[in-house]
Amino acid sequence: MIELDNVAYSYGNDSLFSDVTLHLAPGSFHFLTGPSGSGKSTLLKLCYMELMPTDGIMSVFGKDVTTMARDDVARTRRRIGVVHQECQFLDHMPLAENLALPLTVSGRDEGAHVDNLDELMGWVGLSRRAEALPPQLSGGERQRAALARAVIMDPEVLIADEPTGNVDWEMSLRLLQLMVELNRMGKTIVIATHDLNLIRAAKSQVSVRVLRIAGGKLRLAGAEL
Ligand SMILES: Nc1ncnc2c1ncn2[C@@H]1O[C@H](COP(=O)(O)OP(=O)(O)OP(=O)(O)O)[C@@H](O)[C@H]1O
């Protein structure tokens, strides 16, 4: 689905990583770990095509990203759901409307739209918060809302950057459970996290591959897990 072969990325003249090879097979569950500043978010941004590699070969859904036309990039991105490290919402707009935005923007059918939204809000346990404004939500509610928004377009791949960064352990497990459910439905999952306990909890439920980025290289994680 997403394949990087000997990919490098530099911000200006500062090389962040090189020779990164990563193949995300359909239905796989990957964790990306590594020290702060090692390039986890940057690598995820490559995967969802917010950034383009500075060297190497990368394809998404079988298409070479470097030769993709701009509208093709936009279309391809819709097949990937993203939970960003800092989840942003429109503060003046009730939660349900915030979550429906991707559907509204894409012009999806109105009836399907409402059913899908209700079901999704129930799935993340936020049905009773539909009319709440984002500033009224707790950290855990925001993270669940961000997850719901990321999957509302029914993407094939979910990429989550520290989705449990600001919540307690109980909520981390709840969020993990939702992502495990998505994986069991066949979605490809990639999560960047510092939390080795979260990775251990996932390993007890699904088959996961753990990668570690450090010193500019990506490797399979070692025995610490
Ligand atoms: N837009 C940018 N311009 C220049 N340097 C950047 C930019 N974005 C990130 N960096 C630098 O690239 C390095 C990697 O950042 P990145 O956010 O990918 O790391 P990370 O592993 O996700 O970190 P953390 O775990 O703290 O979120 C850092 O040194 C960061 O300062």
How far is Cα 45 from Cα 49, in angstroms, rounded to an integer? 6
- Residue range 95-145, pLDDT digits in tens: 999 998 887 776 665 555 556 788 899 999 999 999 999 999 999 999 999
**Residues near 12 by Cβ (< 8 Å), separated by ≥ 6?**
none
CA of 85 from ligand 1 middle (Å) equals 12
How far is Cα 185 from Cα 182, in angstroms, rounded to an integer? 5
CA of 34 from ligand 1 middle (Å) equals 12
Domain extents for the chain? Answer: 1-79+156-225, 88-154
Task: For a ligand 1 pocket test, name from 40, 84, 166 the mutation site with the most ligand atoms within 8 angstroms of its C-beta.
Answer: 40
CA of 98 from ligand 1 middle (Å) equals 28
pLDDT of 13 > 70? The answer is yes
How far is Cα 199 from Cα 33, in angstroms, rounded to an integer? 9
Q: What crossing angle do the helices spanning 169-184 and 139-151 adopt, rounded to 10°?
A: 10
Alpha carbon distances (Å) from 204 to 26, 32, 168, 180, 199: 20, 17, 20, 11, 9
- Percent over 90 (pLDDT), the chain: 79
CA of 221 from ligand 1 middle (Å) equals 20
- Note whether ipTM > 0.95 here: yes
Give residue ranges with CB within 6 A of ligand 1.
11, 16, 34, 36-42
How far is Cα 147 from Cα 192, in angstroms, rounded to an integer? 14
> What integer pLDDT is reported at residue 162 of this predicted model?
95
Torsion of CA 178, 183, 187, 193, to 10 degrees: 70
For the chain, the straight-line distance linking the first and the last C-alpha, in angstroms and rounded, comes to 26
How far is Cα 189 from Cα 26, in angstroms, rounded to an integer? 9
- Considering the domain delimited by 1-79+156-225, tell me its CATH architecture: 3-Layer(aba) Sandwich (3.40)
